[in-house]
Amino acid sequence: MARESESGFPVEPVYGPGALGGWDPAGRLGEPGEYPFTRGVYPTMYTGRPWTMRQYAGFGTAAESNARYRQLIEHGTTGLSVAFDLPTQMGYDSDAPLAHGEVGRVGVAIDSAEDMRVLLGGIPLDRVSTSMTINAPAALLLLLYQLVAEEQGVSGARLTGTIQNDILKEYIARGTYIFPPVPSLRLVADIFKYCKAELPKWNTISISGYHMAEAGASPAQEIAFTLADGIEYVRTAVAAGMDIDDFAPRLSFFFVSRTTLLEEVAKFRAARRIWARVMREEFGARDPKSQMLRFHTQTAGVQLTAQQPEVNLVRVAVQGLAAVFGGTQSLHTNAFDEAIALPTDTSARLALRTQQVLAHETDVTATVDPFAGSYAVESLTDAVEEAAVDLMRRVEDLGGAVAAIERNFQKEEIERNAYRIARETDAGTRVVVGVNRFQLAEEAPYEPLRVDPDIEARQRDRLARLRAERDRSAVSAALSALRKAAESEPGTANVLYPMKDALAARATVGEVCDALREVWGAYKPVDAF
């Protein structure tokens, strides 16, 4: 049913080449929800319901983060997104020497099932979709989530959500890796198999270009290197004996959305078109869901400024709009004060309200793919696609994503682009409001959210009690079984089953990761040798 404009004119759910001003010179656009999905992965997109509104949050203790999640749900968030602290991301317990000074700083500290139980307390896991931004230890956090859900009486078959689980981009842009690439990819394949059997509705990987963009990648580089990583994951799963249509429908992606609205819209459209073609033509995917590029978007943290932070509200609104015009499936809008510190309750609520205004006060949800046929956007889509495909071909020429990572190819390309952007900003040819133009002589004072410095001591105490109370022999036996599974040939034993047993026996995240480090080793980057 068509909606009406403010003036009372009908706004059709879908416009095509036959509409006034329609344009499809090569007949490439197709219809929304149909191959190659340039116009979106679903026929109705937001005309039926809006995107999932997620807010990435997590800080301090599990109890503090739980309180923030409850507030976000009360304010209308439809999906949770968990941020973990650096020790958790690196597979260290809060009492490890390397964790000192980082506990609870950039996310929530999760050391054991006890912490996960507190984090999710009072949250109905059968009704809430949860995304967890975790990579090297993704399997552990997923299993902890499943264990807590089972305590709530919620089976794995009813759980919905996503683990990022994208280890390759860690070697390229972010650095929170633990194991070398080969065993890391084996772990990814084991997660695919485990979720197919135990958590069939769970999105097993969120292949991420966001962090590459934050490191300085251009839009074309972002989607090229992300899709190249996706191809590597698909090849790994197929080599492990999985059928493409058994796991590909659960693949998802994660991109940034910048203030350059037109190019971002073109980027999202180009990414869908490339992925659909690769999945159908290279891998022979028959299920249309295997060919769909479904993605989450986060507004660009790297474009937020500490100077005049209230201006970030405008930036985030534009970035959010670009993601919606580009057809995202879920969206996180950054808080305006994130360039200074962790978001306050007020700034987190304003970030969510930004999405709600876009969904309910604008007319962008009235019609599917409103930019289709735009001369500018269609031309930009073709240009981004051509540049991305060229970069993907160069990755293939080097032997694929892993081989290119070992040659530092992606990292060097991104750093070159980041340097160009920095020079343009320093020279003033790239305008950043409040930074190199329209500055204030004196900035207004701002009181940021501060993390309690005693969090680390409290987490250490919790770990000491856990280790004193648990059955040490049961933990030791479970970790031995995990090491044995990790020593096996890929495809012969799925490490997630003994891993779950170890976590259920109250082994910690650090202990489980240490057991795997003993077998698989730890990764050292090329430029560190």
Residue 17 forms part of a structural domain:
no
Q: Tens of pLDDT along 207-224? A: 999 999 999 999 999 999
Residue 177 forms part of a structural domain:
yes
For residue 2, pLDDT over 80 is answered with no
Looking at residue 16, what is its pLDDT? 82
Band of residue 164 on the pLDDT scale cut at 50, 70, 90 = very high
Residue 4 forms part of a structural domain:
no
Domain shared by 93 and 238, yes or no: yes
Q: Tens of pLDDT along 325-375? A: 999 999 999 999 999 988 888 998 999 999 999 999 999 999 999 999 899
DSSP element (H, E) containing 49:
none
Domain shared by 492 and 382, yes or no: no
Three-state DSSP string of 88-131: HHCCCCCCCHHHCCCCCCCCECCCCHHHHHHHCCCCCCCCCEEE
Domain shared by 308 and 361, yes or no: yes
For residue 24, pLDDT over 70 is answered with no
Alpha helices in 122-165 (DSSP H): 138-151
CB 40 within 8 A of CB 33: yes
Q: Given 427, 443, 476, which residue is the final one in a domain? A: 427
Phi and psi (nearest 5°) for 207? -75, 120
Band of residue 26 on the pLDDT scale cut at 50, 70, 90 = low
Looking at residue 72, what is its pLDDT? 84
Domain shared by 293 and 400, yes or no: yes
Domain shared by 420 and 463, yes or no: no
Q: What percent of the chain has pLDDT over 70?
A: 97
Domain shared by 499 and 398, yes or no: no
Domain shared by 186 and 240, yes or no: yes
Show the tokens assigned to 365: 């949800």
Residue 28 forms part of a structural domain:
no
For residue 529, pLDDT over 60 is answered with no
Residue 65 forms part of a structural domain:
yes
Looking at residue 58, what is its pLDDT? 78
Domain harbouring 75, CATH code: 3.20.20.240
Q: Tens of pLDDT along 114-145? A: 999 999 999 999 998 999 999 999 999 999 99
Give the separation between CA 110 and CA 479, rounded to whole angstroms. Answer: 19
Looking at residue 264, what is its pLDDT? 98
Q: Tens of pLDDT along 454-496? A: 899 999 999 999 999 999 999 999 999 999 999 999 889 999 9
For residue 25, pLDDT over 60 is answered with no
Count up the domains in the chain and report the number: 2
Domain shared by 423 and 487, yes or no: no
**What number is the average pLDDT over the span 100-118?**
95
Give the other-Cβ count within 10 Å of 445's Cβ.
Answer: 5
The b-or-e profile of 387-402 (16+ CB within 10 A means b, else e) is bbbebbeebeebeebb
Looking at residue 528, what is its pLDDT? 45
Give the separation between CA 468 and CA 488, rounded to whole angstroms. Answer: 32
CB 462 within 8 A of CB 114: yes
Domain shared by 483 and 389, yes or no: no
Residue 385 forms part of a structural domain:
yes
**What number is the average pLDDT over the span 304-322?**
97
Domain shared by 412 and 476, yes or no: no
Q: Tens of pLDDT along 85-94? A: 999 999 999 9
Domain shared by 324 and 471, yes or no: no
What is the span of the domain harbouring residue 486? 456-528
Indicate if the alpha-carbon torsion angle 279, 280, 285, 289 is positive or negative.
positive
For residue 20, pLDDT over 50 is answered with no
Cα 171 to chain centroid, rounded: 16
For residue 154, pLDDT over 60 is answered with yes
For residue 19, pLDDT over 70 is answered with no
**What number is the average pLDDT over the span 418-432?**
97
Backbone conformation region of residue 165, classed left if phi is above 0, alpha if psi is from -120 to 50, else beta: left
Q: Given 388, 408, 427, which residue is the final one in a domain? A: 427
Residue 39 forms part of a structural domain:
no
Residue 302 forms part of a structural domain:
yes
For residue 301, pLDDT over 50 is answered with yes
Q: Tens of pLDDT along 430-460? A: 999 999 999 999 888 888 777 788 899 999 9
Q: Given 427, 442, 464, which residue is the final one in a domain? A: 427
Question: Across all residues in the chain, what is the average pLDDT?
Answer: 94
For residue 75, pLDDT over 90 is answered with no
Domain shared by 119 and 261, yes or no: yes
Q: Which residue is it, tokens 């309910």?
A: 360
Looking at residue 342, what is its pLDDT? 81
